[in-house]
Every structure is written in C-alpha cells, then in structure tokens.
Structure 1
Amino acid sequence: MAPIYAPFSVNSSGYLQVSPVHSIYYEECGLATGVPIVYLHGGPGGGIEDSDRQYFDPSHYRSILFDQRGSGKSTPHASLEDNTTWDLVSDIEALRQHLKIEKWIVFGGSWGSTLSLAYSEKYPERCIGLILRGIFTLRREELEWFYQKGADMLFPDFFEAYKAVIPVEERGDMMKAYYKRLTGDNEEEKLKCAGAWSSWETATSKLMVDPEYIKKAEDPKWALAFARIECHFFVNGGWMRDGQLIEEAHKIKHLPIIIIQGRYDIVCPAKTSWELYQALGGEKNSNVTYQIIGDSGHSAHEKAIEEALVDAADKFKSLKP
C-alpha cells in the first residue's frame, strides 16, 4: 500500500459559468498531457481540499478537481437554486468539453460516488473507468439509517446533539425538520442547525472519533453550504427514482471499476457497496474489483483508505483514453 503523493501545486485554475446563476471553480494539476482523471467531492456541499489531488501521480495523471454548485469557491455560496443531481452531471460534462477532454477516469467517494454513478450511467462513452469509495446511492433506506434511526444506536451521544436542535414533535422526520430551518429566515437558527448537522457527520466519519475532524464543522461558511446542500438533495431524493443508480448499473458494467469500502463505515454502510457490486455482476465480472478495508470507517482521510485509493489510481495507470 502506497501513501498519498507529496503535496504539489495547481497548474491552472479558473471559473466556468455553467448557468445564469452558477459559476464553478476548477483546478488542473499534474501532467498536462497525462491521462485525465476527474475528482468528484463529497457532501454534496463539501468542496475540494488541497490534499484531494494527492491521490494521483502528478507525473502520470492530468487531474481535474472542482467545487460543485454552491460549494467551496464556486458561486453563489450555499445556493440551492438550480442545484440538483442532474445539474451537477451536466456541469461535469460541460467541464469536460471546456477542457477539451475526450474521455476521463471518474473518481468519487461518498456523495462523490453517487455523482460518479449518475454521470457514468448517463455518459458511459465518456468514461475510461471508475474509482469509487464509500458507496452512497441516495436511497431512502440509506438516508433514514443515518439521519433518522440506525446509526444513532452506535453513536447515541453524538446523535443527542444532532436531534436536540429539533423540537420533539418534529423529530419523526429529521431531514424535513432540518430543511425547514436551513432554508428559513432565522439566521441564528440556520447556523445553529448547520453546525449540528455537520458535526453529526464529522463525528461519525472515522472508525475512531477524531475531535480535530469534528472541529471542521465549527467553520460556519463550510457548515452552512454542507448542511444546506446535503439536506436539499436528500429531502428531494436526489431528483431520481429510489434505487435508480443500482438498477442502472448494467450501463457501466463493461468499464473497469474499483470499489473501496470501509468495513465499519457508519455513514454509508457496506450493504450499499455490496449491492452495487452484485448489480455490476459481482465475481462473474472481471472488470470490477471490490475491496473491503477491514480497519476503517467512512472517511477518505483514514490511512488505510488513503492508501487503497492511491493503489487504485496507480493500477489504473494502464488505462488509456
């Protein structure tokens, strides 16, 4: 298992106007003539980090990273207007065309895996292969496990703080209750709920609770975009049929795909990644590799997950556009 690559700088960056409302920030890194690979961040609403480019060998890959609508440096910040799964899929395709890339490898974890599946199932001819981590397909059962009832059995102390900001009479649908407040006019309540929502996710993301990682939710700008956009997508079911991404996985089963899953992932439990693997043909499909990381949770920032992702990208060096 190889560690992430040493930090390296961005070659170029810019903004692409993708709608009358939204402009997305993007970066190009690594070898300008290298094999293109696009990184799709989590959340939705999480934004990219400098370390995200370090999974990709800069002497081989031309890596493309961008902040999805409303996230990170993209504008307008935390905006929900014209912000759906299919808007984001269109943005990926618009960015590919803007950068004059014919085909690329698609890399995404958590919500990034959702978006990777949505994009590749719509544009399989534009994909060389996929690297997916912590699979999330936005089915109602997945959402209710984490935000309503299930994960609270393992993290009752942190769930207490998550539910405390919602009145008892509204706790029957926590996502709906949060959405009302995250889209309301009470700015103090909005920030309070954004912090509580984001803290719940950061607290449960690693196998071992990381107090420093939880502090990320103390940044009100990050927490507001993260919570508002996530909740917006979740209460709307991602604007897709429940189970659609797994049902339509047959559209990409011819592509090389590596699935990496933390055994003790509480945010996106292994059941979903296993069902995707089976939908892709399971052991009968030699194009697909399914890898369980036995000592890890959900976060891409756990050492064993990081190393598995680097290894996956290195294995894909044999792929050509």
Structure 2
Amino acid sequence: MKSVSHGFISHQIRPLGLPAFQTSRLPSSSTLLNIKLFRKNLPNPSGFRALTVNARQTHSSDAKTKTQDDGIPIDLVKVLVKFKSRYNYIRVLEVSRKADHPFAGSRLLLLDGPGNIHSISFLFKLLTNTYFDAFATLPPILPPGPLGILGFGAGSTARLILELYPEVEVHGWELDPSVISVGREYFGLSKLEKQNPQKLFIYIGDALKASVRDGFSGILVDLFAKGSLVTELQNPKTWKKLKRSLRKGGRIMVNVGGSCVEAEDPRRDGKLVMEESLKAMHQVFPGQVFVLNLGNRKDDSSIALTGELPDPSLWKQKLPLSLRCYVDMWVPFHG
C-alpha cells in the first residue's frame, strides 16, 4: 500500500503478528512489526519522512537500538517481484544488508492488500526472530509421526524445522500455487526440497482438508486470508476436525494473530478475531489451551498451543539454546 503526501512516498507493511527483534535471548518489548520505508528528502540528508497509513505508533529513528518499528530508507529495499495471483497480491522485498534494521539482509514475502508478511528468510542465518521461531519449538514435544503445516507460505517454518530436526517428516499445504512458485524461486524452497526428498511434501489445496495416513503428530496452523485469520478458525467444528486428524498425544500450535493484524475488511478486528478463535479452541480443548504473547501489550500478537503443558525443564533440554526463552512464556487460556 502506498500513498503520496507532502512530496514523499511511504509503504506501510503490516504484520501477521511478528514479535519484536531480539537483541538477546529474551524477546524484546516492541509490539509491532511495522516496516516503514522512507525516501530521502534531498538535499536535506536528515529529512526522512514516513507516510504511514493508520500507524498505531511512531518511533524515533535516532534510537540507539533499532527495532522492527524503525524505518528503512527506501533505497535500501528492493522489490524483486510483485503481481496478482488468483488468491493474493504477491510482493517479494529484499532488504539490503546495509540497512540499520533487524531485517537487514532478509527477503520478505508480502501477501494481501495490507502487506502482511507471510515468510522471511535471511542469507546468513537460520533463526528469524519472529513467530516462526516459536513454531520451531513444537517438534520436541510431539509423539513420533508426520508434522503438518497448514499455510505453508514460502517455507519459512519448514526450513527451520528441517534444519533443527532433520528426522521430522513435514507435510505442508498452501492454497495458492503462485506462493509456492515464489518460494522456490526467491526463498530457497527448491533447494530445501532437493535436500529433503523423503522428508518434505508440499500440497496445493485447502489446508483445512489436510490429512495423512494414521494422523499427524502435530499441526502448525498459519492461515490468513485478506489480512485476517480465516473465518473457519472461529468455528469449534474446525478445531474438532483438526483434533480428529491428530495421533494420540498430538498437538496443535497456531498463529492466532492479535491487535497488530490489519485486515482488508475493517470489521475484522484482529483482537476480536483472535479472541473468538481462542474461545473456539477452548471449547474443543477445555483446559488445554495455552497462549504465548509476542508483544509488550497483551493482545498484540499471540501463538496458541493445545494439550497439557510439558515439563519446562525437559522441553528446554530438547531445544536449541536460542529457542528456550519461549518455553517460559506460555500461560493458560481460561476462555
């Protein structure tokens, strides 16, 4: 989305609830991933102006510690591709390594009108400091068996899991074949498939119809459309169906968004949609829904987990050191 005002151009990129950049092993307190791109107001080199739309917060770009809320000069971001598919408005951005920003050196997949980020990859590091890292904590607390990813995107979650847990078999569903094509061309998905021919399986179609023989050991749900969590996830019937597709002891982890999610339809308030989705889950998994908040305000962005909460110390032992911080962030959802 871009607009023109006072001679400047801005591009506001809204998130699917990405947590703040981490400068240590503990999550930072910044709430929104609100990438603001700036055009320099030459000849005054100090004059950077942001033309944001409905921005909830403003931050000084002079702060000593950069966060995801700080701006990026527009000349340090390259648009690699943009087009409309049957289902999405697709854009791939590349952030220069010279940018003084947590996403320096990354590629971002943006979908929908608001420009929600659905995938991110870095050239020289695996972890993303986003909710994809929280997703990567799920495999160690699952029984043996295949893992399903509903809402595959360009493969950010699959890449993390296959690199950290090479024994895991991943089955991913994505509705839009163009998104998979972009993932293969710009996000290293082709290489990931070649490296894991018996471990990674990608399907084009409705993710809520996903199934595998004998059921999933776990399911990761990241399903958004037109900038909002899909409506089916506010229906308990959907969660009953997903529960039936699990093996004994299986779990579901889901990105339920939050107040930072900006939908194309203003009636789809991110916080309310999140609450409705959690209540629907709670009906199907009573007393077994836990929430992890990824922001300094309660409802900014959240991940939900089903099942009894594992022993924290045992869970941490099975995780890489850089992911252990997420274990202590879960709290029960009481409906």
TM-score (norm 1): 0.29
Which is richer in helix?
A: 1
Higher RCO by CA contacts (8 Å cutoff, separation 6 or greater): 1
Which is richer in strand?
A: 2
TM-score (norm 2): 0.28
